Amino acid sequence: MTISFQGIRGRAAVPKEPDPATKAALGWTHSARFLTTASQLDQLPASEIPEIAFVGRSNAGKSTAINRLAQQKRLAFASRTPGRTQHINLFEVGPKDAPDALFADLPGYGYAAVERSAKLRWQAVMADYLQLRRPLHGVVLMVDSRLGFTELDQRLLTLMAPRLVNGEVRLLVLLTKADKLNRGDAQLALQKAQDHLSSISTESSDIAVSLFSALSREGLGDVAVSIRGWVHPVKVRSAAGSEAEEATRDADIGAESKAEPDSELATETDTDTDTESDSTPT
């Protein structure tokens, strides 16, 4: 079974001192910096650098999660100026002179106030991106832990399914705002998500689901380790001597990253509690 349940482990108290692999992975996500913005696919750079896309329904907590991962207050918000909301924003990650991944922030969907023609146009761009974008390595799908998969989330999964089932594109579902759930409800949310994802899970797929809270930082380190592992799989030698690629928590995979001191992780306290009323999915 290829669905993993980081979230159950994530219910444990967030460690004050991240282990070396987590620290390295957070150092890597921290290096994210704005690269460019595109309103259609042919405006995206023609690079081969692996891309990790962040997608989700509007208000699911995507911007907050990206900012938390990057440990920067306004990285994702910076691109939320009017008129640019229907763009793919790309961020470079890794060493400045040799970025090894791009984060692609796709606009949130399902917000009722968006004009229909703009919505349709954007849905087409997003569908093309998820189905056709060659460097796309993995997708981080934000789902509000209290709501579960909405109809639009399900449509998005169906759209991506051909690339998910064969493992070409990896998927990490983040059940966001987990701080709002008690333990029992969190387990239930995870179970429901697993049930839903089992239909697209195969021997070849790489699909995971995790509870996540930008507020409490639950799941934060695991997410950083997971997505870094997508880009930095390491060769592991089995007892029989054959090699296989596997994402690992080994500290040495982070050797070249610029891990930040712990204090950096602790200083960001800008995450608001959820004060917005939920938008109507359309």
Cα distance between residue 32 and residue 222, in whole Å? 17
Q: How far is the CB of 164 from ligand GDP (least distance, A)?
A: 21
- For ligand GDP, the closer CB: 213 or 226: 213
Cα distance between residue 225 and residue 22, in whole Å? 6
The binder of ligand GDP chosen from 23, 62, 196, 228 (CB under 6 A): 62
Helices (H), 74-176: 116-132, 151-165
- For ligand GDP, the closer CB: 31 or 58: 58
Q: Per DSSP, what are the bridge partners of residue 103?
A: 52, 91
Cα distance between residue 142 and residue 65, in whole Å? 9
Binding residues for ligand GDP restricted to 220-279, rule: CB under 6 A: 272-276
Binding residues for ligand GDP restricted to 78-137, rule: CB under 6 A: 108
Cα distance between residue 172 and residue 154, in whole Å? 14
The answer to whether residue 214 forms part of the interface with ligand GDP (CB under 6 A) is yes
| Contacting range for ligand GDP; rule: CB under 6 A; set: 4-12, 27-35, 61-69, 239-247 | 61-69
The answer to whether residue 177 forms part of the interface with ligand GDP (CB under 6 A) is yes
- For ligand GDP, the closer CB: 197 or 220: 220
For residues 99-117, b (16+ Cβ closer than 10 Å) or e, as one string?
bbbbbbbbbbbbbeebeee
- For ligand GDP, the closer CB: 49 or 149: 149
**Contact residues for ligand GDP, defined by CB under 6 A:** 56, 58-64, 108, 176-177, 179-180, 213-215, 272-276
